[in-house]
Homo-oligomer: A and B are copies of this chain.
Amino acid sequence: MTLLVVGSVAFDSVQTPFGKKEKVLGGSANFFSMAASLLTNVQLVGVVGEDFPREHVEFLKGRNIDVSGLEHVPGKTFHWSGKYDFNLNEAHTLDTQLNVFATFSPKLPEAFKKPDHLFLANIDPVLQLNVLEQVQRPKLVALDTMNYWISGKREALLKVLKHVDLLFVNDAEARQLSGEHNVVKAGSAIRKMGPKTVIIKRGEYGALMLEQGHAFYSPAYPLEDVFDPTGAGDTFAGGVMGSLDRWGGLTPETARQSMVVGAVLASYVVEDFSFDRIRSVTLQDVQKRYADLRGFTDFKDLPTED
């Protein structure tokens, strides 16, 4: 099957308590694609400027990512700068240079218009709607968003959510979108906006999937060294969506397995800057940590009593 992602392709400049890195490869569509391409065929739609090095494009191609939807336009590539303190759960944006991303209007190649699964990464909900209008209805549409759009483009966001099956948000975004503090209530309120399934990402605490009458807790992999959390959420989503596409779509069972695969991939990406760690990760590595996570979470029925 095929998985289409539309999102940002960017340079990141990142400071953490453990080091800093200037203008490395980043962007939601990239992190997502890198993770998902370990599992399935990925089609990527995004935009870059003239400063985007050929080696980055070759790197993506080498991962079996179809970059024929990556537009090259005059100007500079989107550049995000941020820092993290010891509370690695929260990024502090230092600078955002949208550059060519400011006028991005996704145009899907003909071959990209019938994806089995679609991930609308965190971009303007008006553009997300625009992408939906270009594709034949996929088996599953997933969407990511953020505080900026929840407050600034709420109407467009609510419009696109009506067509979304699976929403990825973090705790704070779920609260902001729903107006409910409690995450279980927030999930119920969001399901009324369209998505049948809500995945609430909670960083080092794992993720929570909420559906009608059904919940699943995915653990995070217990790491001794988290180096740079940039891209963890998109990598997680790439693992989830890549798994769903590989294993035949969303069922109660694949939903759970795919979340754990996402957690495993996220655990690799945060172990170094940018793609420095995850570029060498194999499906065997994923299976290893997946088995570890089963060990970390499994428990038996209670002893039977007299």
Point out residues on A near B: beta carbons under 8 Å.
Answer: 86, 181-185, 188, 202, 204-206, 208, 215-219, 222-226, 247, 253, 256-257, 259-261, 287, 290-291, 294, 296-303
A225 to chain B, nearest CB (A): 7
Task: Provide 19 A-B residue pairs closer than 8 Å at the C-beta atoms, listed in order of the A residue.
Answer: A182-B224, A184-B223, A184-B224, A185-B224, A188-B224, A206-B217, A215-B222, A216-B296, A216-B297, A216-B299, A217-B219, A218-B299, A219-B297, A253-B300, A256-B299, A257-B299, A257-B302, A260-B299, A297-B299
Interface of A is mostly: mixed
A91 to chain B, nearest CB (A): 17
A208 to B206, CA, bound (A): 12
CB-nearest residue of chain B relative to A185?
A: B224
Q: Which of B217, B260, B291, B294 contacts A296 (CB 8 A)?
A: B217
**B297 engages A217 (CB within 8 Å):** yes
A302 to B38, CA, bound (A): 14
Q: Which of B215, B247, B298 contacts A256 (CB 8 A)?
A: B298
Report copies per complex.
2
A223 to B210, CA, bound (A): 12
**A303 engages B181 (CB within 8 Å):** no
A257-B300, A300-B253, A300-B256 are known contacts. Are A86 and B223 too (CB-CB below 8 A)? no
- Interface pairs A-B: 10 shortest CB-CB: A205-B205, A256-B299, A217-B219, A184-B224, A86-B181, A184-B222, A215-B296, A217-B297, A217-B296, A215-B222
Chain B hits for A297, CB < 8 A: 216-217, 219, 297, 299
Chain B hits for A208, CB < 8 A: 222
Which of A188, A215, A216, A217 lies at the interface centre, i.e. has the most chain B CB atoms within 10 A of its CB?
A: A217
**A225 engages B182 (CB within 8 Å):** yes
A247 to B300, CA, bound (A): 13
Chain B hits for A188, CB < 8 A: 224
CB-nearest residue of chain B relative to A208?
A: B222
A208 to B223, CA, bound (A): 13
CB-nearest residue of chain B relative to A187?
A: B222
CB-nearest residue of chain B relative to A203?
A: B205
Q: Which of B202, B291, B302 contacts A261 (CB 8 A)?
A: B302
A305 to chain B, nearest CB (A): 8
A216 to B293, CA, bound (A): 9
A36 to chain B, nearest CB (A): 16
